[in-house]
Structure 1
């Protein structure tokens, strides 16, 4: 039996059929045969040419299964290409693995019955080692999708992200050579390791509170005080240097679990603050909030973001990969990370390459990142979601 193999590469530049063909042929040659699965991460500027790109890569890369998604940038093997034209690609051969693709439409989400989804996908509740999910956020309510997925496939990890683009016309997901209206799910079956790291770019500030007054996405009271006063208190808890840089970088964190004595970075789902009114004490946030939830304000912080990812990657390396190195990595980065967060390009991808030298890796800057916390899969913001296949 052939040994599992993976290869990755990137092309930076405007769409070129000849350049795309050369890259596909090179990857196939390095792979030593036809890939079972090819994943393509293209810049949003490639949206008008994505059908042509997928056709070229399918024909000359001999890919029987190819999935492509647009993003606000792409990455491969230690290099990040933010707001650049081009694409990255990862090809995978694994004799003990089977990849099953499912295209789903927004209409499919009308049912949340788990058994109905087993019929839609043709995959039973325990028949996948893990899932890869890509969705068009303009067409799919992704948090609803993940609630369904968690019920239909309990305890099965999912990695992926939301297609990105400056407009709906630049946001696309393709299965083989055709655009998909909603999204694509890929079930990976067989003897393949599926390990996901989710690292957030925010850290908790101030105190955690119980939500005591809220209406949909409007926070009124936290504990015995107003949501606005709690926000002001969190801001005042920062050092003078941190306060100078905090404008536009404070968010809300909704605790994944209420049953903790102490909340740390990674225990929250981070969401945007949409507005705050000191006269009423209300704060509008980018999530539906319920009374009884635990909430803590968060600071977007490059130092803690880098420290968190490094710590999680090192733990993954020790726990899983000392004796069995990973085969490949797939990376979904928030479009708010990269140079905008760290001040330099390539920090996240470079760290993965530093800790896992020569590991084939590809991915994209997404409009939202998918990954598990505990045994449930969530949509994240300002995070790095990294899937290691082994």
Structure 2
């Protein structure tokens, strides 16, 4: 009988870091019953003053070749009853151990000044990461901040590893100036991007729930410069938007005033656009004089976009639609052994008014699949075949043996 991939998850809410470490290590190691090849650790910002103690405490109790993780404003983990919990604003520690036969692991830590420029060849990125393009690696990334370098890294990985899946998130804290931490083996980092490449006998699939729904109709960008739109369907964008808002119901008008976004169509040729076909971006501002609209990404003439709104119901419906679509295209139970969840700190209880919403909905479709992750300051996941940084998003990674 061939050796099978196994994952074990543990979570602790003990306020003592020593007690929390002891609890998760004991629980995860006893559940795994195999040698661990990979450890993922996520620690809540309630322990911010003790981040430097985490890795030494784990090293006393745990031996694993690759251990990687970060801090989060909230922690997501699976309890002893197999139920996922989203623990926000409370001390929490999550540990995942994975037995990964036939999987090759390589960690890396990069800062902005180490990255090749975007005109470099794929070989420059492959040399930097230290991982060949074949067998296809998949990447978990944890970032200290989302600088232009992080965006360039995602573009570089997509360029050099076109068949790879990349997901993860930005380490977060409990406030704007909170301390964050990235952990790799025996090292603690406060900057850059930390990653692990998983190559070989592993498949990583994603669900990226951006939590918005379209209003109005798709429009073509007919004049733009970098991230500023000057014409939509050869009309002044602000005028188009005002006409759209005037046509909405009172409920939707309120949403548009508070939670208005732009969805950029990722497939230039697809006629019938659906949820999941758009990359959601924030509206950064408007120029009342020129009638231009600035958005949180570059946009070029010829691209199509559609205005979107967001609220708790929309976010819930968006995730359920994507879960149903995944279920129709795959058998969620067939070979899936674990899942990772990287969710925006703007979701959770603050959005839904109750805890564990996204994780509970996910587990309705992926029964008995353990889940772990954290609440991010920004999320990493693919849309339309390219990898992006997101906001207000829940990114799920489903792990299975190849």
TM above 0.5, yes or no, is yes
- Alignment of 1:91 onto 2:101: no
Contact 2:101–2:201 (CA under 8 A) maintained in structure 1 = no
* Cα distance in structure 2, aligned partners of 1:239 and 1:361: 39
Q: What displacement does 1:167 show?
A: 3.9
Look up the SS of the partner of 1:247 in the other structure: helix
Matched with 1:171 is 180
* Cα distance in structure 1, aligned partners of 2:41 and 2:162: 28
Change (3 A) 1:378 1:14: same
Contact 1:252–1:272 (CA under 8 A) maintained in structure 2 = yes
Matched with 1:248 is 258
**Map 1:305-344 → 2, pairs under 5 A:** 305-321=315-331, 324-344=334-354
**Map 1:291-310 → 2, pairs under 5 A:** 291-310=301-320
Contact 1:205–1:237 (CA under 8 A) maintained in structure 2 = no
Matched with 2:85 is 79
- Alignment of 1:36 onto 2:29: no
Q: Count residues with an aligned counterpart.
A: 390
Unaligned runs of 5+ in 2: 79-83
Deviates more, 1:372-381 or 1:146-155: 372-381
Matched with 1:192 is 202
* Cα distance in structure 2, aligned partners of 1:374 and 1:291: 19
Matched with 1:148 is 156
Q: What displacement does 1:323 show?
A: 6.5
* Cα distance in structure 2, aligned partners of 1:9 and 1:339: 22
User: What is the alpha-carbon root mean square deviation over aligned residues?
Assistant: 2.2
Matched with 2:81 is none
Look up the SS of the partner of 1:258 in the other structure: coil
Contact 1:332–1:366 (CA under 8 A) maintained in structure 2 = yes
Contact 2:255–2:311 (CA under 8 A) maintained in structure 1 = no
* Cα distance in structure 1, aligned partners of 2:332 and 2:74: 32
Matched with 1:118 is 126
Q: What displacement does 1:138 show?
A: 5.0
- Alignment of 1:3 onto 2:9: no
Look up the SS of the partner of 1:327 in the other structure: strand
Change (3 A) 1:15 1:280: farther
TM-score calculated relative to the size of structure 1? 0.92
- Alignment of 1:137 onto 2:138: no
Change (3 A) 1:381 1:49: same
- Alignment of 1:215 onto 2:225: yes
* Cα distance in structure 2, aligned partners of 1:344 and 1:26: 27
* Cα distance in structure 2, aligned partners of 1:323 and 1:355: 9
* Cα distance in structure 1, aligned partners of 2:54 and 2:389: 28
* Cα distance in structure 2, aligned partners of 1:60 and 1:320: 39
Change (3 A) 1:146 1:51: same
- Alignment of 1:160 onto 2:146: no
Contact 1:70–1:173 (CA under 8 A) maintained in structure 2 = yes
* Cα distance in structure 1, aligned partners of 2:65 and 2:265: 42
Look up the SS of the partner of 2:268 in the other structure: coil
